[in-house]
Structure 1
Amino acid sequence: MTENQNQPREYDAVKGGQSQVPLGAAVLGGIPGVKSRLASPIVEVRITALSEALKYGDAGLDLIIGALQDESMSVKFAAYSLLKDRDELNLKEQFQKYLPTFDFDVITVDAEGKENSRRTSFACFFSEDLGNSVVLEMVYIPGGKFVMGSPATEEGRIYRESPQHQVTVPAFYAGKYPITQTQWQAVMGNNPSKLKGEKRPVDLVSWEAAVEFGAKLSQKTGKKYRLLSEAEWEYACRAGTTTPFHFGETITPELANYEGNYPYANASKGLNRRQATDVGSFPPNAFGLYDMHGNAFDWCSDRWHNDYNRAPTDGSSWDTGTDNCRVARGGSWDYDADKSRAARRSSVGARDRTSLIGFRVALVFGSVL
């Protein structure tokens, strides 16, 4: 089936053509209507029908579970997002049958860095084959709303993180890890990094080079890979949290790679590793993303602006303006904990290359064939 986002009308399964009923309206009532729209060749119609299926109890739930077998990855993940937080015991088994998942522990700490909760969660992903046994794992990030920026009460806050504003982020896919040196080599044919290590984040890559990587990866795979927007990055980093770090009120060197001699809040001083570590060496956030705090900054697609006045609220990249600098997020192995906060933003020249900055990629929701 073709994922056509330009169809203005809904397919009428009974008549075999386009109906005059606007997209999303019922062709037939109740479960028969939902089933009719789930048979539509138009992806958006099928996704809309899934949301309506929730109204019809167990019968609707069965239809949503059935959509995990849909030919479109967009429909599969739409069904997943509707089912993920439900308590039915058999649902995870259904996910694993039709969508790859991985398990992980979600950890939170108090202001002193002491663990105060741990729970097991899971996320859906798919693997992109880059050749020569090199894969890129992309994690599904459900869409949602969040408050971007930091509150006035947050320790270390600077004016560049204001004003706080609500942003609506559509669903997308994000790299499970920063792009590694092996992945860069597979796509670009070289390894520019100073801190060598196959599983370490690629470094000494400018913003321009990171964009070129996305373009070559898109050409290689036929999908639309790109850098995360700044809003997408913060939304993905927070993973539903509102604290300075997705771990809670602070971080420790056991949770992230940063300059441990400069802790945050009431945490104690700790290890300074003085170099990048292999990706995935520390616990992930609730979305299943690793290294969102520390290790290496992530390039974002946006032009730099000194604050959020007139910033987009739809999750898109802020590309207007004349500043040639770009946004980097997440902190690094050589920066103190404060620079790794979810809200912290840095301005870096688009052509600058440093061992402190790497990147991860995003994939437009719906561009998976």
Structure 2
Amino acid sequence: MTENQNQPREYDAVKGGESQVPFAAAVLGGIPGVKSRLASPIVEVKIAALSEALKYGDAGLDLIIGTLQDESMKVKLAAYFLLQKIEDLKEKLHLLNNLPIFEFDVITVDPKGTENSRNTSSARFFPEDLGNGVMLEMVYISGGTFIMGSPVTEKLIDDFARPQHEVTVPAFYAGKYPITQAQWQAVMGNQPSYFKSEKLPVEQVSWNDAVEFCSKLSQKTGKKYRLLSEAEWEYACRAGTTTPFHFGETITFNLANYKQNEFCRVPKSPVNRRKTTNVGSFPPNAFGLYDMHGNVCEWCSDRRHSSYIDAPSDGSSWETGTDDNRVLRGGSWEDEAPYCRSMSRYWYLAGEGHRYWGFRVACSLDIPIS
């Protein structure tokens, strides 16, 4: 046994290497001191303690991982970014199984639009730092099998969303919100939107623009960013539900940003937004995803097909054919409620963009959450 073998490791936050620190530092208050500061009610004290914890090897690493469950989102993110810089694959495996968690309320309504349940749920996510304080939050979507499309009993629907078919979707990560103007600016360096504000979803972007964004985001982060496939989008939107909306049989103007609600059998709202709203303004679904109904239609990767005959059953993007139209899902602020349903779909030319079209991103990681 070498002289320094039992000494704690000091992780280099940049290179992921190891160096030695005096063993007495850990014994004479190092780790206890870090623990004490991590228990402080002051967020800044906790964050400073996290950086010091890197000096104390596995013991310090465990403390940092523990703060991924801290009640402060600032502390969670600081812990995540410190851990993300450790290059040891074993530690990354441990990290991905301990992603930060956020909590939210899941709401359902009755056919008249009256809330009939509200339950607290949670989801894991990883944050992506795009620079200048701009964050992108990617939510873990567990894989599963669902029935995609519209039943023949569904009213006010054409055959584009039929026949219903079973699809098995592998696990992936989806943007918590549609891409915002701040996120677009951070990656692309320009601002194409008609309605301008950092927290509004980016719009007036074509499918080609969205694909270019994903490519540049992938280069910037080293991860595999892309558009959701149409099957992934519907699976993520439904979040285990089989109703027209993840809220239930109907939606209201308190639940989403859309144009009219005659379809929804509830009194007409005096609200007349006629524009996009800040992402996250309305309640999320059971996966923790926001704005899946309304606000902006979201580009998916798939080519146009006028029905689901011969559609993929593995959740992949449907790329057969040479049609230049690409699929849009979710409806927008300018669409009536029927076009905002989980199963509703339409398409447009890949090179066109309008002020009611945006997108959200997906990410495929080589190491899944267990």
Match of 1:71 among 71, 85, 91: 91
CA contact (8 A) 1:149 1:165 kept: yes
Query: Identity of counterpart residues, as a percentage?
Result: 64
5 Å-filtered alignment, 1:164-203, equals 164-203=164-203
Identify the residue that residue 83 of structure 1 maps to in structure 2.
none
Query: 1:365: how far off?
Result: 3.5
Measure how far apart 1:154 and its partner are: 1.5
Separation of aligned partners in 2, 1:223 and 1:368: 13
Asked whether 1:265 is paired with 2:285, we answer no
Instruction: For 1:165-314, list aligned pairs within 5 A.
Output: 165-260=165-260, 262-270=261-269, 271-314=271-314
How far is the alpha carbon of 1:152 from its aligned partner? 1.0
1:111 and 2:111 aligned: yes
Rounded Cα–Cα distance in structure 1 between residues aligned with 2:95 and 2:190? 36
Q: CA deviation at 1:176?
A: 0.1
Q: In structure 2, what residue type is equivalent to 1:182?
A: A
1:155 and 2:155 are equivalent in the alignment = yes
Whole-Å separation in 1 of the counterparts to 2:91 and 2:147: 34
**How far off its partner does 1:214 sit?**
0.1
Q: Structure 1, residues 117-150: CA drift from partner, whole Å, max 9, x if none?
A: 1100010001000011101000000000000001
Correspondence 1:351-366 to 2 at 5 A: 351-366=351-366
Q: CA deviation at 1:272?
A: 2.2
Separation in 1 of the partners of 2:367 and 2:307? 32
Matched residue type, 1:226: R
In 2, the alpha carbon distance for the partners of 1:265 and 1:360 equals 26
Structure 1 portions without partners, runs of 5+: 1-68, 80-97
Offset, 1:305: 0.3
Deviation digits for residues 74-125 of structure 1 (CA, Å, limit 9, x no counterpart):
x766x6xxxxxxxxxxxxxxxxxx3211110000011111111110001000
Give how far 1:367 is off. 6.3
State the SS of the aligned residue for 2:130: strand
User: How far apart in 2 are the matches of 1:187 and 1:256?
Assistant: 28
Q: Tell me the distance in 2 between the aligned counterparts of 1:366 and 1:269.
A: 47
Contact 1:252/1:263 (<8 A) preserved = no
Contact 2:332/2:340 (<8 A) preserved: yes
Deviation (angstroms), 1:269: 1.2
Contact 1:327-1:348 at 8 Å conserved across structures: yes
- On the 8 A contact 1:251/1:264 being kept in 2, the answer is no
**Conserved? CA contact 2:180–2:198, under 8 Å:** yes
Whole-angstrom CA distance in 1 between matches of 2:255 and 2:229: 25
Q: Does 1:320 align with 2:320?
A: yes
Q: How much has 1:300 moved relative to structure 2?
A: 0.1
Give the TM-score of the pair, scaled to structure 1. Answer: 0.74
- 2:122 aligned partner: 122
SS in 1 for 2:262: coil
Contact in 2 for aligned 1:199/1:279 (Cα 8 Å):
yes
State the secondary structure of the residue aligned to 2:211.
helix
Taking a change above 3 Å as real, the CA distance of residues 224 and 348 of structure 1, as seen in their structure-2 partners, is same
Amino acid at match of 1:71: E
User: Residue type matched to 1:344 in 2?
Assistant: S
CA distance in 2 between counterparts of 1:322 and 1:192 reads 28
Cα displacement (A) at 1:312: 0.4
Q: Structure 1: how far apart are the matches of 2:250 and 2:178?
A: 22
Amino acid at match of 2:237: C
Distance in 1 of aligned mates of 2:145 and 2:368: 23
SS in structure 2 opposite 1:264? helix
Q: How far apart are 1:368 and its partner, in Å?
A: 8.3
| Partner in structure 1 of residue 144 of structure 2 | 144
Counterpart CA distance in 2 for 1:112 and 1:71 is 50
Counterpart Cα distance in 2 of 1:122 and 1:330: 23
Taking structure 1 as reference, are residues 363 and 272 closer, same or farther at Cα in structure 2, changes over 3 Å only? same
Aligned partner of 1:22 in structure 2 is: none
- Provide the rounded CA distance (Å) in 1 between the counterparts of 2:215 and 2:233: 19
- Partner Cα distance (1:287, 1:263) in 2: 28
Q: In structure 1, give the amino acid aligned to 2:275.
A: Q
The residue aligned with 1:340 is 340
Counterpart position of 1:7: none
Task: Compute the displacement of 1:157 (Å).
Answer: 1.9
What secondary structure, in the 3-state scheme, does the structure 2 residue paired with 1:289 have? Answer: coil
> Secondary structure, in 3 states, of the residue corresponding to 1:118?
strand
CA distance in 2, matches of 1:159, 1:137: 35
CA distance in structure 1 between the aligned counterparts of 2:185 and 2:228, rounded to whole angstroms: 21
CA contact (8 A) 1:125 1:139 kept: yes
Q: Is the contact made by 1:155 and 1:265 (CA closer than 8 Å) also made in structure 2?
A: no
Whole-angstrom distance in 2 between the partners of 1:269 and 1:367: 47
8 A contact 1:275–1:333 mirrored in 2: yes
Q: Is the 8 A contact 1:282 1:290 kept in 2?
A: yes
Q: TM-score, normalised by structure 2?
A: 0.73
> CA 1:313 to 1:131, structure 2 compared with 1: closer, same or farther past 3 Å?
same
- CA displacement at 1:155 relative to structure 2: 2.4
RMSD (Å) for aligned C-alpha atoms: 1.7
Q: Secondary structure at the match of 1:233?
A: helix
Q: Secondary structure at the match of 2:263?
A: coil
Larger mean Cα displacement after TM superposition, 149-158 or 359-368: 359-368
- The answer to whether the Cα contact below 8 Å between 1:223 and 1:367 also exists between their aligned partners in 2 is no
Pair 70,99 (structure 1): closer, same or farther in 2 beyond 3 Å: farther
What is the SS of the residue equivalent to 1:234? helix
Return the alpha-carbon distance in structure 2 between the equivalents of residues 117 and 154 of structure 1: 24
